[in-house]
Amino acid sequence: MAWYVDRAARVLVFVGGISAIVFIIGIFVFITKEGLDFVLGPLSLGEFFTSIAWRPTSNNPTYGALALIVGTASVTGFAMLFSVPLSLGAALFIAEFATGKTRETLKILVEMLAAIPSVVWGFVGMSIMNPLIIQIFDVPLGLGVLNAGLILGLMAAPIMTTIAEDALKAVPDTYREAAEALGATRWEVIVKVVIPASRNGLLAAVLLGVGRGFGETMAVLMASGHAINLPTSVFDSVRALTATIASELGDTVTGGAHWGSLFTLGILLFVVTFLINLTADIVVRGIRKK
């Protein structure tokens, strides 16, 4: 009897085990299924990647996603510009310098930063940062690359900090002790020993941060201004790939070309985040091999 229960449990647990694979394949299959008609029909790759005319609702619809791609890239890029150094710095401080209470408090604050829902971040962008940016820089509109980028940077920071800290912690203490025994200061140990030893983990942390920023939806939708536009300054409004899906899907006819075009954007997002995560995984595996 116990043997049969054991068998049954083993099967059930295995089914649960492979569920994550089933769902990932399911996601790919279902968004491809809905987007396929569009990909094989109205989609012209040349137009998709080189035109900025995203006019899916006009009588003569055009589907140029360049402005959306640039929008996502500019906001994510701006976010990473300040978020990567800050997050890595914070990870170094938490892992190498902070002790006891300070360390616990900082870790909890970073966790709180990660817990704030994206719709609240978007609301903060609209209602707190927008007037601040207008006032400080004397510009007519505070919703744009700057606003969305700042928010996105703060949203991506916790994941980068946490993973970078894990990578730093994974460096064996014997390495540090050996360097310290040779007379190196904490700072020298970090620069000469800890960072080189955890390089791959830090790179993976940055990659996952980029993936997080790239896929963020609500905050970017609310804080970026949502105007189709190739930005020339950080105050310009832009529109992101994710935000386009979120704002337009509700108004489309199920199964129509516009509908299919939004699922095609979804396929693009899925493929890019998949590649980012895969790269991060391979990079991390690189350290374990050594």
Partner 1 sequence: MFTATPLNRRSYRNQSLAKAVFFLMTVVLVIPVLLIVGTLVVKGAPAISWEFLFTAPTDNMTAGGIFPALVGTIWLVVVALLASVPVGVAAALYLSEYAPDNLLTRTINLAIINLAGVPSIVHALFGFGAFVLFFRMGQSILAASLTLAVMTLPVVIVATRESLQAVPQAFREACWNMGATRWQTIRKVVLPNSISGILTGVILEVSRTAGETAPIMFTGATAFVAFLPEGVLDQTMAMSYHLYYIATQATNVPEELTFGVALVLIAIVLMMNAVSIGFRVYLRGLKKW
Q: Restricting to residues 126-145, name those near partner 1 by CB under 8 A.
A: 126-128
Q: Which of residues 107-126 bind partner 1 (CB under 8 A)?
A: 108-113, 115-120, 122-124, 126
Among 249, 257, 258, 286, binds partner 1 (CB under 8 A): 249
Does 211 help bind partner 1 (rule: CB under 8 A)? yes
Near partner 1 by CB under 8 A: residue from 148, 194, 245, 283:
245
Among 79, 133, 143, 154, binds partner 1 (CB under 8 A): 154
Instruction: Note whether 206 binds partner 1 by CB under 8 A.
Output: no
Nearest-angstrom CA–CA distance, 53 and 61? 9
The amino acid present at 229, given as its one-letter code, is: N
Total binding residues toward partner 1, as defined by CB under 8 A = 88
Q: Tell me whether residue 21 or residue 232 sits nearer to partner 1 (CB atom).
A: 21
Helix (H, G, I), strand (E, B) or coil at 62: strand
Choosing from 66, 246, 257, 287, the residue that interacts with partner 1 (CB under 8 A) is 246
Q: Which residues pair with 55 in a beta bridge?
A: 62
Instruction: Give the HSE-up count for residue 269: Cα atoms under 13 Å, Cβ half-sphere.
Output: 25
Contact between 277 and partner 1 by CB under 8 A: the answer reads yes
Give the end-to-end CA distance of the chain in Å, rounded to a whole number: 46
User: Does 251 participate in binding partner 1 (rule CB under 8 A)?
Assistant: no
Beta bridge partners of 5: none
Please, which of residues 72-101 interact with partner 1 by CB under 8 A?
Answer: 85-87, 89-90, 92-94, 97-98
Length of the chain: 290
Q: Which of 224, 177, 229 is nearest to 67 (CA)?
A: 229
For residues 25 and 83, what is the distance between their CA atoms, to the nearest angstrom?
Answer: 32
Q: Which of 67, 79, 164, 280 binds partner 1 (CB under 8 A)?
A: 280
Q: Is 182 in the site for partner 1 (CB under 8 A)?
A: no
Give dist(CA 220, CA 121) in Å, integer: 9
Decide: 217 and 246 in contact? Cβ < 8 Å.
yes
What does the alpha-carbon distance between residue 43 and residue 39 come to, in Å, rounded to a whole number? Answer: 5
Please tell me whether residue 14 binds partner 1 under the rule CB under 8 A.
yes
Q: Does 179 bind partner 1 (CB under 8 A)?
A: no
Q: Applying CB under 8 A, does 256 fall inside the site for partner 1?
A: no
Question: Please, which residues have CB within 8 angstroms of residue 159's CB and are 6 or more apart in sequence?
Answer: 114, 205, 208, 209, 212
Nearer to partner 1, 81 or 278 (CB): 278
Measured from the CB of residue 60, what is the shortest distance to partner 1 in angstroms? 26
Residues 27-46 that bind partner 1 (CB under 8 A): 27, 30-31, 33-34
**Radius of gyration from C-alpha coordinates of the chain:** 23
177 binds partner 1 (CB under 8 A): no
Looking at the chain, which runs of residues are DSSP E strands?
54-55, 62-63
Segment contacting partner 1 by CB under 8 A, of 3-11, 47-55, 58-66, 230-238: 3-11
CB of residue 80 vs partner 1: minimum separation in angstroms? Answer: 14
- Binding of partner 1 by 55 (CB under 8 A): no
